[in-house]
Amino acid sequence: MVITLAGHESRPRAGRPKRADARRNYDQLIEQAKLAFAEFGVDASLDEIARRAGVASGTLYRHFPTRLDLIEAVLGEQIAELVDLGRGLLTADDAFDALFAWLRAAITHSLTYRGLAAAVMNSALNRENGLVSTWHAEMFEVGAALLTRARRSGVVVADADEADVLKMIGAIAWAAQDASDGPAQADRLLTLLMNGLRHGGVQR
């Protein structure tokens, strides 16, 4: 008798395929998704993306079973860079500034495409596919490490919770995403948050 864990063995989870035509389609889909995301946000029509890539809708679903899989593929490198940046900042002199800088970069990243913050938040809630995507997991890990270090250094209040702070980052990104001033507003809101975190009070 064979025991299978439901929902764990059936996912394609392919990555870039080997066959020539399939690989061409895969690349075209990512390329067109990138353009469509830039134009309409991450809620862009999947059908339209497939059409522009010169491919039927079923093909899109074959490669990217979920809209989130497509988003992840499009943002892959960018996320890797962000994680690297965070790891580097773990040895920076000022633990407060390091945390600040990384959160700032994370927010900037979230502003790449309209709706991205909401999509990420949604993926964090959706526990169905086992754990959260590795994507989100790595981001969380780095952010949590930076906050922990800042807390241990005594530059940040002791009871700041990782999940809360990172959730707040998502919230700020969401709030600023289609404001006319955009990044500037995100900066102001982040400053508000950091003042709340700073041990020893607001500095003016």
Question: Which CB atom, from 22 or from 193, has the smaller least distance to its own copies?
Answer: 193
Alpha-helical runs (H) found in the chain? 20-40, 46-52, 57-63, 67-89, 95-110, 116-125, 134-152, 162-176, 183-197
Question: Which CB atom, from 27 or from 81, has the smaller least distance to DNA?
Answer: 27
Question: Which CB atom, from 60 or from 173, has the smaller least distance to its own copies?
Answer: 173
**Using CB distances below 5 to 8 A depending on partner kind, what does residue 192 bind out of its own copies, DNA, none?**
its own copies
The neighbour count for residue 146, using CB atoms within 10 Å, is: 26
Among 2, 4, 21, 203, contact with DNA (rule: CB under 7 A):
21
How many Å separate Cα 116 from the centre of its chain? 7
Among 16, 134, 175, 183, contact with its own copies (rule: CB under 8 A):
175
Question: Could you tell me how many residues of this chain bind DNA (CB under 7 A)?
Answer: 26
Of 79, 63, 67, nearest in space to 134 by CA: 79
Is 160 near its own copies (CB under 8 A)? yes
Is 170 near its own copies (CB under 8 A)? yes
The neighbour count for residue 106, using CB atoms within 10 Å, is: 21
Is 149 near DNA (CB under 7 A)? no
Amino acid, res. 31: E
Among 30, 32, 37, 63, contact with DNA (rule: CB under 7 A):
63
Indicate the SS3 state at residue 69: helix
Is 152 near its own copies (CB under 8 A)? no
Is 46 near DNA (CB under 7 A)? yes
Are the CB atoms for 77 and 83 separated by under 8 Å? no
Is 101 near DNA (CB under 7 A)? no
Backbone dihedral angles phi then psi of residue 156, each to the nearest 5 degrees? -130, 145
User: With CB under 8 A as the contact rule, which of the stretches 10-18, 20-28, 76-84, 193-201 interacts with its own copies?
Assistant: 193-201
Q: Which residues bind DNA (CB under 7 A)?
A: 14, 17-19, 21-22, 25-26, 43-48, 54-59, 61-63, 65-67
